[in-house]
Amino acid sequence: MRSPLFLIVAIHALLSYAFSTGGRPDALIWGFAEKRQSLQDIVTWDEHSLFVNGERILIFSGEIHPFRLPVPSLYLDVLQKVKALGFNCVSFYVHWALLEGKPGDFSAEGVFDLKPFFDAAQKAGIYLIARPGPYINAEVAGGGYPGWLQRVRGTLRTVAPDYLNATDNYMAKIGGIIADAQITNGGPVILIQPENEYTGADSYVPFPDGSYMEYIKQQIRDAGVIVPFISNDASAQGHNAPGTGLGEVDIYGHDGYPLGFDCAHPTVWPNGNLPTTWRNTHLRQSPSTPYSLVEFQGGSFDPWGGWGFEQCSALVNHEFERVFYKNNYAAGVTINNLYMIFGGTNWGNLGHPGGYTSYDYGSVVSEDRTITREKYSELKLQATFLQSSPGYLTAIPGNSSTSIYSDNPDITITPMLGNTTDDASFFVVRHTNYSSLATTQYRVKLPTSQGLLTVPRANQSLTLYGRDSKIMVTDYDVQGTRLLYSTADVFGHVKQGNQTILILYAEADEYNEFAIHAPSSPVSKIQGGDSYAVTSSNSSDTLMINWTANPEGLILQIGGDLFVYLLDRNSAYNYWITTIDGTNSKFIINGPYLVRSASISDGELHIKADFNASATVEIIGAPIGISKLVINDVETATETSGLATTASVSIAAPSFTVPSLPDLDWKYIDSLPEIQDDYDDSLWTNADKTSSENPYQPLIAPVSTYSSDYGFHTGVLVYRGHFNATGNEISFSLWVQGGDGFASSIWLDDHLVSSFAGNAANESSQGKYDITGAGFEAGTQHVFTVVVENMGLNENYGIGPDEMKSPRGIVGWRLETSKATNTPISWKLTGNLGGEDYLDRARGPLNEGGLFAERQGYHLPGAPTNSWVSHSPLEGIGLPGIAFYAASFDLALPSDEWDIPLAFSFTNDTASSGVYRAQLYVNGWQFGKLSSNVGPQTVFPVPEGILNYNGSNYVGISLWALEEGGAKIPALELVSGVPVWTSREKVELVDSPTWTRREGAY
């Protein structure tokens, strides 16, 4: 490692001076000058892959953010669904803003406690990659930064002393929590990422600044974390790679989102977007570490006014997985993390202004935790194959070619060659025009231990369908038997006793061949049709079998102990390879919607599985000596059918009802009493700061009205501007800022002056409004009431501009008279009650904003609604204003055995309803923000645990009518998804404190 002494001394002197105001001891620089040594020997690596406890492993990981699923008892459910894919790891961010809402006040309790997540990962058999930031991006408010960082003058993500000091408490506390969960302490955390996408900065900011990254690393080490550091450059630029000097990490990684985020055109794959140079770039940048993709595209975010996540799922669909993921395997990736694998929900204002409540992301696992997207099944085929192929980890990626391995230039093949002729090689086949929809015929030339073979040997050609890709193997080890080659994809293979089972699959009606070393072995058909043929080679003791995939399937027995399943792809989707708990033994299950786990006890095979329909379950390669089959704790009768043990699982959808929301006894209260003559704002915060600590936008007004200057960082903001009229006022100019998609309204006394209805492109609004009609009398008192929707603070992706500090609320104003003078205005403001001293510790610092109903806590269950007026949100209000509606309902769902997704579905018809904004509160948790004129979201899933599936529930809706004529919600339903008979663990209700009168509420 390079350690230029002059550089170290210079940086040491600089930082010693900078940190004299407080910061890390300057000894951290001297620590870097010492030879870097591993602090542990459990997690190690070479140029090929990671080792854990001496075992070479492939890290196949997906991104999950526990803070986006505030029901800790559901963590295991999601992690088991990831494990069932064939994954062995999950990466997670930590959202600083949720844990330190006030400087020095760190709280990681309740739904913010990470220990249940760590425990669930341990139980599921999942490793973890920790990504605590302090900056995370992640499409969250402020990129994870708490709002009070707007008052830090130093440039964020640099060595500015006030910024570094601000991070110390959080990094020490979260670092300690992660340290306790390291694999060295018996936990699941194997890697940690300092900072996030530290990739680009403005030209006037020193970048890359190794001293900054070294500071973050030292914070983590000081907290006791000793597992290796991994990075995620936003693109493959080599920042902080091993050997780059100060700030270098142990393992270099980068991100990749090759299709971008154009959910509007989900079928468009632009020319040139398939990465084909990443392997060679890796060899230049970090040849001594495993090739690592720390974020690769698993879906897409979607902005306000977007197209919805089903289109994002279509953009990054099963075809994308086949072409792009297999292309990554061809580059030799062995630490592979997909962003996201489960997106979850931006509940409680935690998202950034570029996204709405759902963070489904078009992921493999949907927001409601269902796994019905085809991309889940496709990914299971791929991950299971790789985990069944240890030779992949040391195979050497080669250069792609249109001629060396294929006879058709429209086909490109990239080899991953074994180190010797006895080792497996892998050949990734795709269209040269990666986005091609054509059906292409071709032949391949495969180097094998028996020489160069032109394949197929028994037919004219193979077929590659549009937007498909295949991985052919040669000299592939199948439990001790050599598969000389296969033109069809391998799903996996297992061995039980003397029996070996191999599963190959292909597209329906596709012709394929495989050759296997099987001296003097007869081939017999166990099941299926006659769409195959066998040719033997006496000289090489190899059998060649050609076959055509079809839904009927085909099972061949080769010799006495090898069984080959030849499946079409859609049939293969239904198969699972499952490890028996406490062993390395695996077997195959066909039929369930999901297989969570298997165990053996007293000769009984216990399977935990989920079913969304009746099914015949096939157990293939079952362990010897099993006397009973128990599925979900129910003993199940079995029969022998060929090679398999079969069982019939018959389910009938449970009988249950969900309440009709329109028929509930809705109660109403005015949530904008601020426009009434007698409203008392004496307890409000005075906007009296004549300067701002926020350097992002210099003040243009006599005092700051930036909300974060006064501790209000989230949700709706309300301002009251008092003035003494001269009688000459003619216009009011106002500049407000709330982030993309925001809305605002201005009242003069009790009359609406104007509303900005918002759109996806504008984060601010400036307007000049004629107020001559008000007819002011000299000496009279008046009030402007301004409501501004804070959509979340901006992220801080680029270093230098400090976009996170873009202020919220009123930026500037002017009350102009006909005498060319300005009438002074005295402003007061409010956001959530208490601001940084937030009251609701269970739901955290971001869950509620500054509406009257929120400040009073009326969004919480048990609110005193008996005295309110009976009125429904479907009737709405006839004037501009803000209403709050509440109702209660009971549920009695069979949730101990059935997983039943529920969602609140709003009908959106702005033409009939008026333009409005709405917030949905469920048992006090904000689980929906609806923008009628911007969209797109109208359906809001709410998980069990927030909803009480067997008891009383409280729902609150704020309705902000932006225009004359008022607004209403056209229709509202509680809808249920397909019930799944489930083996998940029981869901526990989260702590949802009820209403009590709030002292000091106004």
Q: Which residues are catalytic?
A: 197, 295
Contacts of 214 by beta carbon, 8 Å cutoff, 6+ apart: 28, 29, 32, 246, 247
CA atoms of 759 and 745, how far apart (whole Å): 14
Instruction: Kindly list the distances between the CA atom of residue 127 and the CA atoms of 391, 477, 587, in Å, as whole numbers in the listed order.
Output: 21, 27, 22
CA atoms of 764 and 375, how far apart (whole Å): 39
- Cα atoms in the Cβ-side hemisphere of radius 13 Å centred on 637: 2
CA atoms of 674 and 680, how far apart (whole Å): 8
**Cα dihedral 730, 736, 740, 746 in deg (nearest 10):** -60
Query: Are 588 and 579 spatial neighbours (Cβ–Cβ below 8 Å)?
Result: no
Contacts of 913 by beta carbon, 8 Å cutoff, 6+ apart: 876, 932, 967, 968, 969, 970
Q: Which two tokens stand for residue 891?
A: 């549920």
Q: Which two tokens stand for residue 935?
A: 């969209």
SS (HEC) of 833-877: CCCCCCCCCCCCCCCCCCCHHHHHCCCCCCCCHHHCEECCCCCCE
Q: Which two tokens stand for residue 690?
A: 């004549």
Helix (H) / strand (E) containing 768 = strand 764-770
DSSP 895-941: TTTEE--EEEEEE--HHHH-SEEEEEEETTEEEEEEETTT----EEE
Cβ–Cβ contacts within 10 Å for residue 435, how many?
A: 17
Distance from chain centroid for Cα 12 = 39
Q: Which two tokens stand for residue 994?
A: 């009820």
CA atoms of 980 and 614, how far apart (whole Å): 10
CA atoms of 329 and 318, how far apart (whole Å): 16
CA atoms of 621 and 300, how far apart (whole Å): 39
CA atoms of 101 and 835, how far apart (whole Å): 9
Query: Are 42 and 184 spatial neighbours (Cβ–Cβ below 8 Å)?
Result: yes
The 3-state DSSP class for residue 514 equals strand
Angle at 907 between CA 903 and CA 912, to 5 degrees: 160
> Maximum distance among all alpha carbons in the chain?
110
- Provide φ and ψ at 816, rounded to 5°: -95, 145
Cβ–Cβ contacts within 10 Å for residue 890, how many?
A: 10
> For the sheet containing 925-931, what is the strand order?
869-870, 667-670, 881-892, 950-961, 916-922, 925-931
CA atoms of 511 and 710, how far apart (whole Å): 69
Instruction: Kindly list the distances between the CA atom of residue 326 and the CA atoms of 367, 475, 476, 508, 566, in Å, as whole numbers in the listed order.
Output: 26, 19, 18, 20, 21
CA atoms of 301 and 937, how far apart (whole Å): 13
CA atoms of 25 and 2, how far apart (whole Å): 23
Cβ–Cβ contacts within 10 Å for residue 939, how many?
A: 16
Q: Which two tokens stand for residue 410?
A: 């429209």
* Closest-CA residue to 349 (of 971, 958, 988): 958
